[in-house]
Structure 1
Amino acid sequence: MSEQDSPEALYIVLISIHGLIRGNDLELGRDPDTGGQTKYVIELAKALSGQTDIERVDLVTRLIRADSVSTDYAEPLETLAGNAQIVRIECGPDDYIPKEQLWDYLDGFTDNLLVWLHQQPRLPDILHSHYADAGYVGLHISQLTGIPLVHTGHSLGRDKCRRLLATGMILNDIEQRYHILRRIDAEEDTLAASALVIASTRNEIEDQYELYDCYAPEKMAIIPPGINLTQFHPPSAIGDGTSYLPHLRKFLSHPDKPIILALSRPDERKNIIALLEAYGESPRLQALANLVIVAGNRDDIREMADGPQRVLTELLMVIDFYDLYGLVAIPKHHSTEQVGEIFRLASTSHGVFVNPALTEPFGLTLLEAAASGLPLIATENGGPVDIIGNCQNGLLIDPFDVKGFADALLTVLENPALWQQYSASGIENVAKHYLWQAHARAYLSKIRGLPKGFELLPKTVSRTQASRYRKLAICTEIDNTLLGDAEGLEQLVKLIREQRKKFLFCIGSGRRLDSALAILKAHKVPKPDILITSLGTEIHYAQQLISDISWSYHIDHGWTPHVLRRLFEDLPGLKPQPKSEQSRFKLSYFYDAATAPSIEEINSLLHKQDFSVNVTLSFGQFLDIVPARASKGQALRYIVRQRDIPLQRVLATGGSGGDEDMLRGNTLGVVVANRHSGELSTLAEMEHVYFAMRAHAWGILEAIEHYDFFNL
C-alpha cells in the first residue's frame, strides 16, 4: 500500500463560493469578486495535492450557467492536478451574481454540498472555508457532521465597515450595499466554531481579527501564501518581458522610460486614483517615468458595474485634468498568463511596483512583483508590512498622503544603487519566505495537530426500513402552527390519516418530549413517526419513543450548561423558565424586551466568553440556548438523510423565529399566518418558502395544496 493510500492520508475540502474559479486562465480583476482569493485557493489546492500525505483535495465552489461567463463554470467537475479537483455545486440562480447577493442561497448550497459529500466514498477529514460566505456553509456542515473546520477570512467585515465609515459612508448605506451586518454575524459564528484560523500576516491578526468578539489568538496561525516562481521570475534574457510593450505604445510618447506599475481591480479600496493624482502633482515623476495602471479587463466602460465604472471614469477624468496624455497607460485587456510578462517589462525598465490600497489583507501581487525584480512601494495598512519587512525591498506609505506617494517613488527611482539593492533583496527573500511548497508543509503541520472530529453520525435506519415510506416528509412545529384553530386541525388530521402511508410525519418543537406528547394527545393528533423536541436537542422514534443516542452524543460537543447559567444569572430581563421547560441540552428563559439585552448583545457576550451555542428568541418572549450542533433544522436534516428523503420533498412548517433553520435551504418551507410570523420575514424573498394566507393548520393545508405535495 502506498503512503497516499494509507489511513493517515488526509482528504481536505476547500470551500470558496463567490467569484469565477477555474484551473486555467483565471479572470483576475474581472470584478471585485474575482481577485487574489481566487488565485490563492487554486494554488493552495495544487500545492496540497503535491504532498505525499494527502489522499484527495476538493475545491468546492458555485456552479454557474450564464451567457455572461464561460461555460467552464458550468462543469460540475474539473481536474486541477493529480488528486485535486474543482467541484461546482448549485447555489441559487444560474446567473453569475455578486457575493453580496448570495446570502439567501447559502442554506441551499449547504444542503446540496452535504448531499454530494455523502455520495463520496468517505467524508473529508478537514473542511477549510475561505471568506465569510464559505464560513457560513462550512460552519453548518461542521455542526452536522463533526468534521473540524479551518477558516481563512481573506478580508473581514468589521475592518471593511470601519474603513468605509472613515470615507464618510453612513452605516445604513453600507448595510444596503454590502449586507455587512449579516456578514459580520457569519464571521463571528465561524470564528467561534473554527478549530483553526489561518491568517497571512501578524498585522491581519492584530489589526483585523482583534475587532471580533470571538478573537482567540491562541487558535490562529500565520501561514503566508506562496508564489509560483516558474511564472514569476526576473527577466532572464534581453527582451524577456517586452512582449506586452505593444499594448502600451498606443498610450505612451516615450515607452522606454521606467514604468511605475499598479496592477489591481478597478475598486475604490485599491486607491489607484490617489496614485494617479500623486503622479499628476509631480512634474519630476512625469519627467522620470511613465505610469501604467493595469485595472482589470474591459470592453465598454459604459456597460460595467457601477463600482468599476466609477473608478475607471474617475481615472480618465484625472488624466484629462492633469493633461497626462502620453504619460499614462491604462490598457484594456490582459490575460492571467501575461501578468508575469507585465512585471518583467516593468523590471526591465528599472521601474517600481506600487500598491496604494487603503488596506491590503495580504498582497499577492507584491510577491509576484518582488519575484520579478521590482522594488515595492506599498500601503502601510495590512499585509505589505510583513512582506516588505521580510523581503527588505521597498518602502511603506500612508495611503492618504498623496505627496508621500511621490516622495517614496522618487526616492527609489532617482537612486539606482537603492533600486538594485531592493530588486536583489526581493528576488532572494521571496524564494526564502514565500513558496507554495513551504506553505503546504506549514499548513499540514498545523492541521495535523487539530483534535480529530467526533465520530460521524451513523445512518441507523436500514434501507429496508426506510423503504416503508414514500420519499416524502412533513415536519411541523406545534404551537401557533399546528395548533390554534380546532376546525383547521380537524381537517389536517383527517388528511394525515388518509395519506399516512405516503409520508413521514414529524414534529419539530421547542417543547420537551413529555409536554409535546401530552398536548398532541389532548388535541387528538396522530402520534408522529419522529419527534424532534427541546429545539432540536432530542430525537425520539415512534412507537416505543426510542431516543437517538448518537444525536445526543453528537450535540454534546462543547456544551457547558453550568457555566452558561452562571453567565446569564445576572443579566437583566431574563428569568429562568420552570424546570418543566428545561432539559439536559436546553436552557430556557422568559425574555423581557424592555429590560433585557438585545439578541445581538447576548450573542456578543457569548462570543467574548468563547461560547459556541445557538440562541433563539421565539414568540418575542421565550429565549432558548442550545448546543451549537443542535437546532430543529439540523435535526430534521439528520433524520431525512437517514431515510434517503431529499430535502426538496420535505414540507417544513413553522410560525416563529425558532423555526427559521427548518425552513431555510432546500426544504419546502411554509410560514403560517399568525401574529409572530413577522419573526420569519427575512425569508420572504426565498423561492422555497411559502407564506400562507391562513393561520395554523389551515396554513399547512394551504401549503400542501400550493406545493401539490402528495403528487411530488
Structure 2
Amino acid sequence: MRTQAKSKKEPLYVLLISVHGLIRGEQLELGVDADTGGQCTYVLDLAKALAAHPQVAKVDLMTRLIDDPALAADYAQPEETLSQHARIIRFPCGPKRYMRKETLWPYLDQMVDRCLHYLRQQGRLPDVIHSHYADAGYVGRQLSMLLGIPLIHTGHSLGRPKQARLLSSGRKAANIEKQFNFERRIAEEEALMQHASLIVTSTRQEIELQYGMYPHPDPKRFKVIPPGTDTSRFSPPGRQAIAPAVEQSIYRFLQQPKKPMILCICRPEIRKNIKGLIAAYGNNLALQKRANLVLVAGCRDNIRALEKSQATVLNELLLDIDQYDLWGKVAIPKHHAQEAVPELYRMAAKSRGVFINAAFTEPFGLTLLEAAACGLPVIAPDDGGPRDILANCHHGLLVNTLDPIAMGDTLLAALSDKTRWRAWAKNGVLNVKRHYTWAGHVNKYVKEISALLHKQRKNWRKQQIALHQGKSPIPLAQHAFITDIDNTLLGRRDGQEALVAWLIDNVGYTVFGIATGRPVDSAIHILRKHRIPIPDVLITSVGSEIHYGLRRIPDIGWANHIRHLWRREDIQQALKAIPGIRLQSADNQREFKISYLVDPQVMPTVDDISQHLRGQGLHAQLIYSHGEFLDVLPIRASKGHAIRYLSYKWGLPLANFLVSGDSGNDIEMLTGDTMAVVVGNHSEDLAHLKGAPRVYFAEATHAHGILEGMQHYKFGIQPTKAQAHTHSQVIMEGR
C-alpha cells in the first residue's frame, strides 16, 4: 500500500481562505464597510510573507469573486498575482453583488465545490488549509474533511463574545440573531474547535477568555503566533514631507492644525467606541486646548447610503461633535486611501501626538503595531491583545475605555510629558522590529506546519487500514469505479479477490466507490466482513447520503442539495393511506429516506403513489426494487443523481465513471454518459436496458461480471491471475 507522505525537503503549498470583505493586492479599501478591515490586511500580508519563505513553494489566497457595478473591476478578476509564489484566487459564491458576511452562509457550499475543481486543475493538493473567520472556517473544514488535509484556523473575532456584548448592551436576542446569524456562526466555531489541527491566535487572552467561552477547548490545538507589521510601509517620519493631499485632507477641518494630533483609525462600528472617545475629548477642556482629534472612521460618500449600523454610528458622531461644540477641533475625513494610512501615523508622530484605540475590547490591535513602527505612542484598551503588545513594545499606556473621563485624563497625561513621549516613540520603533515582524511570524508558522505534517505522517504509517493513506485520492484521480454491493460486488469469493487485486493495482488512478441501499454503517460492516477495502466514496441509503473514506466524512453539500422540498413527516403521514406497504425497521430509516416493505399484489403502481403525493403538494422520488422494496427519497436524491453530483463536485467527467449494478434501484446510475456494467445475475428490472448505449450486459456474474465489463471498456489496469493472487494475499493480511 502507498502513503502520500511528503518529503521533508519538498516546499509547502499553503491554501489560505478568507471569504468576506473586499480583498485585492493593492489599494485596499479599508474601512469601506464593517467587513473590510484588519483581517484583509492580515491575510494579504501573511500570503506575501509565506511566499517569501524558502520552505514555501506556493500560496493561494482563496476569496469570493464579486462582480458588482458599484465596485472596482479588480474584485471580479478570477486571479491576481501577489508575488512570484503567491496569488489571489476568486470564485463565484452566491449572487454576483457584494454581500455582507452574515448573509453568505447559504452559498458557501458553492465555494467548496469550485475549490475542488480548481485543485484538480492544479494537479497538486495543498499541504495545509488555513481558514480565516467562521465563514471561511466552514469552507476550510469541508475541504479538510473531503481531502484529508490538515486545517489551520484563525478566528479573528468570535461569535460568543460579540453576542454577549450585544446582549449586555440591551439589544434583543431576536434582533441580533436576525442581523448577525449568531446561531450558525457559533455552531461552526464549535465545530472548528473540534476539527482544526491547529488554531492560531494572536494573544494568550484569546485562548483563555474568548475561546474559553466555548465548551471544552483543547489547549493542545492552540498556538499563539502574533502577526507582524510591514516595516517597509510603516516607518518613522523622515526628512521627506508628508504628502500635501494627506495634510490637506486633515487640516481643512481644523482651526489650529499645528497642534498635536490624537489619531484614531477604525471602522464605524459600535464596538470601536467612537462615541466614548468623543465624550472623553468633549468633556476635557484642557485636552481640547492641547490637541486636535482626528477620526478616520472608514470611507463614505453619503451617510444615508451606508448600511444601517454604520450610518447610526456616523450620525451619532456628528451629533456628539455638535453637542460638545467641537467644530474646528475635530477632523473627520470622508475618504482615505490605504497608501495614506502610514502617512497619517507619521503626520501624527511629527505633531508629537498619540494614537488611540478606544474599542471596548480588542483581541489583538494591529493598528497599535503600525503606530509603533511609525514612532507614534499609543493609548489602548486594558484588555486582550494591547496588554501583550504594550508589555513588549513599551510605547504607551493602557486605559479603561469604558470610562470616558479616564480616557480623557490619560490622553492629556500622555501628551504632557515630552521626555516620556520621546522614550515611547523610540521604544515603539525598536521593539516592533524585535517582536512583531512578518518574517518572525512566518518562521514560527512554518515550524508549526512542519511539526503538524510530521505528526500526521507518523499517524498514517500506524494506520495502514485502507487503500489510501493521508490525502484523498479523489481530486487527482482520472477515473472512478462505483458499484452496488449486494449481488454485484459480493456473491463470489474468487471474483471479490480478483477485484480487490484490481483495486490495488489502480490506486491513485481510479476512485473506488460503492452505491447501495444499505445505510453507511451496514455498508462498512458488510465490506469489512468480506475483506473489501473501505471505499473512497460511499453512496448509501439509495443515494440519499454520501460519505468519504474510513472516517465516513459526510458530504454536507449533498445533504443541503437534496433537502429541497423534502417534508419527511408529511410524506410519511400521506403514505399511511397506501395499501400494500409497511415501514421497514427503524435502522433502515434515514433523514432523507423512508423505506417500506411491499406486497406487490396489493400495492398500487408507483405512478399512482406519486400522483397521490403530488395531490397533497408533496414532492418525492419513489424507487421500487426486487419486487419487495419501496424507498421514498427527496426528488434530488438517487444513486444516479449522487454520481452526477460527484462528477460536478470533483471535476471528473461523467464519461470517466464506470458503474455496475444488478437491480431496479441502479437504473438511474446505469443510464446516461457513464460506462455501465450490468452483471450476469441481474434482476428483470434491468432487462429493458439491453441495447441501450453505453450499457454492457456481462455474461459473468457478480464481481467477475464487473471485471468482464472493465475489460470491455478497457477501463483501468487489468491484473494477471498471479497478480490477483498476490495482491489478494497482501490486502487480506493488511486487514
The alignment's TM-score, normalised by the length of structure 1, stands at 0.71
Supply the distance in 1 between the matched residues of 2:477 and 2:10 (Cα, whole angstroms): 30
Q: CA deviation at 1:462?
A: 8.2
Contact 2:345–2:371 (CA under 8 A) maintained in structure 1: yes
**Which string of whole-angstrom CA distances, capped at 9 and with x for unpartnered residues, describes residues 385-439 of structure 1?**
1111111111111121010110110111111111111111111111111111111
**Which string of whole-angstrom CA distances, capped at 9 and with x for unpartnered residues, describes residues 168-193 of structure 1?**
11322221111111111101111111
1:693 to 602, 617, 620: 617
**DSSP 3-state at the match of 1:151:** strand
**Which string of whole-angstrom CA distances, capped at 9 and with x for unpartnered residues, describes residues 530-571 of structure 1?**
1274347846999x999452449x99xxxxxxxxxxxxxxxx
1:456 alignment partner in structure 2: 471
2:568 alignment partner in structure 1: 674
**Which string of whole-angstrom CA distances, capped at 9 and with x for unpartnered residues, describes residues 615-640 of structure 1?**
xxx9xxxxxxxxxxxx934449999x
Contact 2:547–2:555 (CA under 8 A) maintained in structure 1: no
**Which string of whole-angstrom CA distances, capped at 9 and with x for unpartnered residues, describes residues 134-173 of structure 1?**
1111111111111011111100111111111221113222
Matched, 1:255 2:260: no
Amino acid corresponding to residue 545 of structure 2 in structure 1:
K
2:558 alignment partner in structure 1: 662
Q: CA deviation at 1:216?
A: 1.5
Q: CA deviation at 1:256?
A: 0.4
Amino acid corresponding to residue 52 of structure 1 in structure 2:
P
Supply the distance in 1 between the matched residues of 2:145 and 2:171 (Cα, whole angstroms): 36
Matched, 1:317 2:302: no
Q: 1:76–1:411: structure 2 CA closer, same or farther, 3 Å change rule?
A: same
**Which string of whole-angstrom CA distances, capped at 9 and with x for unpartnered residues, describes residues 79-98 of structure 1?**
11111111111211111101
Supply the distance in 1 between the matched residues of 2:615 and 2:131 (Cα, whole angstroms): 33
**DSSP 3-state at the match of 1:449:** helix
Contact 1:266–1:312 (CA under 8 A) maintained in structure 2: yes
Supply the distance in 1 between the matched residues of 2:276 and 2:516 (Cα, whole angstroms): 62
**Which string of whole-angstrom CA distances, capped at 9 and with x for unpartnered residues, describes residues 546-597 of structure 1?**
9452449x99xxxxxxxxxxxxxxxxxxxxxxxxxxxxxx9xxxxxxxxxxx
Q: 1:638–1:385: structure 2 CA closer, same or farther, 3 Å change rule?
A: closer
2:16 alignment partner in structure 1: 14
Q: CA deviation at 1:8?
A: 2.1
What is the correspondence of 1:8-87 to structure 2 with a 5 Å cutoff?
8-87=10-89
**DSSP 3-state at the match of 1:377:** strand
Supply the distance in 2 between the matched residues of 1:420 and 1:113 (Cα, whole angstroms): 51
Supply the distance in 2 between the matched residues of 1:327 and 1:82 (Cα, whole angstroms): 47
Q: 1:402–1:680: structure 2 CA closer, same or farther, 3 Å change rule?
A: farther
1:632 to 532, 536, 545: 545
Supply the distance in 1 between the matched residues of 2:186 and 2:172 (Cα, whole angstroms): 17
2:694 alignment partner in structure 1: none
Contact 1:203–1:385 (CA under 8 A) maintained in structure 2: no
1:119 alignment partner in structure 2: 121
Alignment coverage as a number of residue pairs:
551
Contact 1:78–1:86 (CA under 8 A) maintained in structure 2: yes
Q: CA deviation at 1:214?
A: 3.8
Supply the distance in 2 between the matched residues of 1:420 and 1:26 (Cα, whole angstroms): 32
Supply the distance in 1 between the matched residues of 2:205 and 2:25 (Cα, whole angstroms): 30
Q: CA deviation at 1:277?
A: 1.1
Supply the distance in 2 between the matched residues of 1:356 and 1:422 (Cα, whole angstroms): 19
**DSSP 3-state at the match of 2:129:** strand
Contact 1:241–1:344 (CA under 8 A) maintained in structure 2: no
Amino acid corresponding to residue 109 of structure 2 in structure 1:
D
Contact 1:158–1:211 (CA under 8 A) maintained in structure 2: yes
1:549 alignment partner in structure 2: 534
Contact 1:536–1:634 (CA under 8 A) maintained in structure 2: no
Contact 1:540–1:547 (CA under 8 A) maintained in structure 2: no
**Which string of whole-angstrom CA distances, capped at 9 and with x for unpartnered residues, describes residues 98-134 of structure 1?**
1000111112211221222222221110011111111
Supply the distance in 2 between the matched residues of 1:203 and 1:31 (Cα, whole angstroms): 27
What is the correspondence of 1:589-600 to structure 2 with a 5 Å cutoff?
none
Larger Rg: 2
**DSSP 3-state at the match of 1:47:** helix
Supply the distance in 2 between the matched residues of 1:461 and 1:52 (Cα, whole angstroms): 26
**DSSP 3-state at the match of 1:221:** strand
Supply the distance in 2 between the matched residues of 1:369 and 1:200 (Cα, whole angstroms): 18
What is the correspondence of 1:292-691 to structure 2 with a 5 Å cutoff?
292-450=294-452, 451-452=455-456, 454-459=469-474, 530-531=515-516, 533-535=518-520, 538=523, 547-551=532-536, 632-635=545-548, 662-664=558-560, 667=561, 670-675=564-569
**DSSP 3-state at the match of 1:231:** coil
Contact 1:663–1:670 (CA under 8 A) maintained in structure 2: no
1:274 to 276, 287, 290: 276
**DSSP 3-state at the match of 2:145:** helix
Q: CA deviation at 1:455?
A: 2.0
The more displaced of 247-256 and 233-242 is: 233-242
Q: CA deviation at 1:700?
A: 6.2
Supply the distance in 2 between the matched residues of 1:271 and 1:177 (Cα, whole angstroms): 20
**DSSP 3-state at the match of 1:29:** coil
Amino acid corresponding to residue 618 of structure 2 in structure 1:
R
Q: 1:117–1:460: structure 2 CA closer, same or farther, 3 Å change rule?
A: closer
Contact 1:202–1:222 (CA under 8 A) maintained in structure 2: yes
**Which string of whole-angstrom CA distances, capped at 9 and with x for unpartnered residues, describes residues 593-623 of structure 1?**
xxxxxxxxxxxxxxxxxxxxxxxxx9xxxxx
The alignment's TM-score, normalised by the length of structure 2, stands at 0.69
1:131 alignment partner in structure 2: 133
Q: CA deviation at 1:76?
A: 1.1
Supply the distance in 2 between the matched residues of 1:673 and 1:409 (Cα, whole angstroms): 62
Supply the distance in 1 between the matched residues of 2:426 and 2:348 (Cα, whole angstroms): 15
Structure 1 unaligned spans of 5+? 467-503, 508-512, 515-527, 556-585, 587-617, 619-630, 642-657, 682-689
Amino acid corresponding to residue 152 of structure 2 in structure 1:
V
Q: CA deviation at 1:238?
A: 5.8
Q: CA deviation at 1:693?
A: 3.1
Q: CA deviation at 1:213?
A: 1.4
Contact 1:271–1:358 (CA under 8 A) maintained in structure 2: yes
1:472 alignment partner in structure 2: none
Question: Could you tell me the percent identity over the aligned residues?
Answer: 43
Q: CA deviation at 1:701?
A: 9.2
2:150 alignment partner in structure 1: 148
Q: CA deviation at 1:327?
A: 0.4
Supply the distance in 1 between the matched residues of 2:143 and 2:35 (Cα, whole angstroms): 24
Root-mean-square deviation (Å): 3.8
